[in-house]
Amino acid sequence: MEQPNPSIFPHAVILPMPAQGHMKPMLRLAELLCLAGLHVTFVNSDYIQARLLKSMDVAAFCSRLPGFRFESLSDGLPPEHPRAGRLANDLFFSTRSVTKPLFRELLISLGKESGSPPTCVIADGLMSFAVDAAEEVGIPIITFRTYNASCTWVYFHISKLIEEGEIPFQGDKDMDRQITCIPGLESLLRRRDLPGICRLEEIENPVMQYYLSETSAMTRASALIINTFEELEAPVISKLGSLFPKVYTIGPLHTFLKSHIKHSSSPSVSSNGSLWQQDRSCLAWLDSQPSKSVVYVSFGSLVSLTRDQMMEFWYGLVHSGKKFLWVIRPNSIEGEEGVGQTPVEELLEGTKERGFMVGWAPQEEVLGHPSIGGFITHSGWNSTLESLSAGVPVICWPQFSDQLVNSRCVSELWRIGLDMKDTCDRLTIEKMVRDLLEDKREEIIRSANEIARMARESVKEGGSSYCNLEKLINDIRLMCLTN
């Protein structure tokens, strides 16, 4: 029998921004591509790879996915750098200067290997140096933006917001002023809902300039991938089609992978993609709680709280009288020495009776647990997608970047939650928890169930994301034949 020529194996080189919320969805995509028979080289930073080695069985994962391999490169920061909170942005500049030449060398060396040379690069929309590197080496590039479609569209209008004088905000900030110059989102966004960078006071700020240049570089890619689904954001997705030859909406990727594994005869291969060790003891605690009685609280991998903010959440949760499961990530409270101060007796008692705290949770399983009734989230896009796929209504406490847009979509467009943006007081938290679990539950849960249904449908055979992933895979195969 004629053997297939190994050089025709399509091979995607995937480069995420080295952060939890970027690496995880791109790893999911890598798994799906491998399961479809493609080869994947997944390029982490040395720092992320070292953490992944501690939190998951990387060897077992790779052995179950033929064609998959990890590579790692320096992100340019010293190991002790926190890469979170206010210092997370340092990665933008260090990767640009240090990772870029290393990535280019990697592409060249992969091209020299016998077997399957790279067919295309799939790079994070915040790693535009990959566009330069791929162009220099002559490999097609696809950009993956880890935000939703609406927010991605907003980023393409930042220059327009500057031209029209909407940003930077002057004098009286008038944060409720409507933003009307973004087509398709005219009646949705107020100043306070714009991405975090719009609150910077200087256009010349390096972070603002970074986002402007990254967003503009994305359009040099041959296609855009977004972890969303057509039924959720159809009008804006079609507008993005005016900027890219192809747009593949293939989300929710975590649901996609679960459904793929459920219907496949191959052994379960999925990684949880967590950079922290998951504390699974909370699942047993959840098992002992009544249906829809617990509010889950987590602010993702980057947000830090001040001690005052933490106390407001703590009082609000305890006074709501509801059960709560709270993720307090190591080092996520600023001025940590304050945390050691003894909280009042009332909080300790209330927490003992109704609360459970962990350092890092198996979030997808938690959100799918029958005792979860709501989620207080920072509105990162992964957390938002995970809750909307599980039909869990949310209270949004967005802090920066896309989170401010996501929370507006959640509360005003999809109506699956409440937005407590720009506030942090115990009375609001207490009231919103009660609203979510009782007073406003009926109307919110109706939309939440409908959106969860649409999310499930989109990844089933024949669904919109299912078909788009097939198109993406076929297009990569075609690139391989024509390269």
Task: Kindly list the residues in this chain that would bind ligand UDX in the complex (CB under 6 A).
Answer: 19-22, 24, 146-147, 274, 298, 300-302, 327, 360-361, 363-364, 380-383, 386, 401-403
Identify any residues that bridge with 305 across adjacent strands, giving them in sequence order: 333
**Can 435 be counted among the known catalytic residues?**
no
What is the three-class DSSP state of 396? strand
Peptide bond into 168 cis (omega under 30): yes
What radius of gyration, in Å, describes the C-alpha atoms of the chain?
A: 22
Q: Give the amino acid at 385.
A: L
Peptide bond into 195 cis (omega under 30): no
For residue 460, the minimal CB distance to ligand UDX (Å) is 22
| Of residues 124 and 312, the one with the C-beta less far from ligand UDX | 124
> Which lies closer to ligand UDX via its Cβ, residue 231 or residue 364?
364
Q: Are 436 and 444 in contact (CB under 8 A)?
A: yes
Q: Which is nearer to ligand UDX, 26 or 437 (CB)?
A: 26
Backbone torsions φ then ψ of 120, nearest 5 degrees:
-155, 160
Per-residue DSSP letter, 325: E
For ligand UDX, give the closer residue by CB, 42 or 117: 42
CB of 100 to ligand UDX, least distance (A): 21
Residue with Cβ nearer ligand UDX (76 or 380): 380
Q: In the 8-state DSSP scheme, what is residue 328?
A: -
For residue 44, the surrounding DSSP H or E stretch is: strand 39-45
Residue 242 corresponds to which tokens in the numbers above? 């005016």
Q: Least separation, in Å, of the C-beta of 115 and ligand UDX?
A: 32
| Single-letter amino acid code for the residue at 352 | K
Is the CB of 110 or the CB of 144 nearer to ligand UDX?
A: 144
Q: Cβ closer to ligand UDX: 99 or 363?
A: 363
| b (16+ CB within 10 A) / e for 84-112 | beeebbebbebbbebbbebbbebbeebee
Query: Which residue's Cβ lies closest to ligand UDX?
Result: 21
- Angle at 376 (CA atoms; ends 296, 257), nearest 5 degrees: 70
User: How near is the Cβ of 403 to ligand UDX at its closest, in Å?
Assistant: 5
Number of H helices, E strands in the chain: 20, 13
Instruction: List, in order, residues 6 or more apart from 448 with CB less than 8 Å away.
Output: 388, 391, 392, 393, 416, 417
CB of 284 to ligand UDX, least distance (A): 16
> 66: buried, middle or exposed (CB in 10 Å: 19+, 13-18, 0-12)?
exposed
Q: Tell me the closest approach of the beta carbon of residue 64 to ligand UDX, in angstroms.
A: 21
CB-based contact 24:247 (threshold 8 Å): no
Question: Closest separation between CB of residue 7 and ligand UDX, Å?
Answer: 36
Q: How far is the CB of 208 from ligand UDX (least distance, A)?
A: 17
Judged by beta carbon, residue 319 or residue 356, the one nearer ligand UDX is 356
Catalytic residue among 11, 39, 124, 260: 124
Cα distance between residue 144 and residue 125, in whole Å: 5
Residue 78 to residues 89, 94, 309, 331: CA-CA distances in angstroms?
14, 10, 30, 18
Rounded to the nearest 10 degrees, how much is the dihedral formed by the CA atoms of 17, 20, 21, 25? 80
> Which position among 22, 254, 319, 378 bears the catalytic label?
22
**Contacts of residue 275, Cβ cutoff 8 Å, sequence gap at least 6:** 20, 23, 48, 51, 52, 55, 301
The residue with tokens 């110059």 is: 181
Shortest CB 94 distance to ligand UDX, Å? 17
Residue 230 or 364 having the CB closest to ligand UDX: 364
Q: What is the dihedral of CA 105, 109, 110, 112, to 10 degrees?
A: 150
172 belongs to the catalytic site = no
Catalytic residue positions, numbered: 22, 124
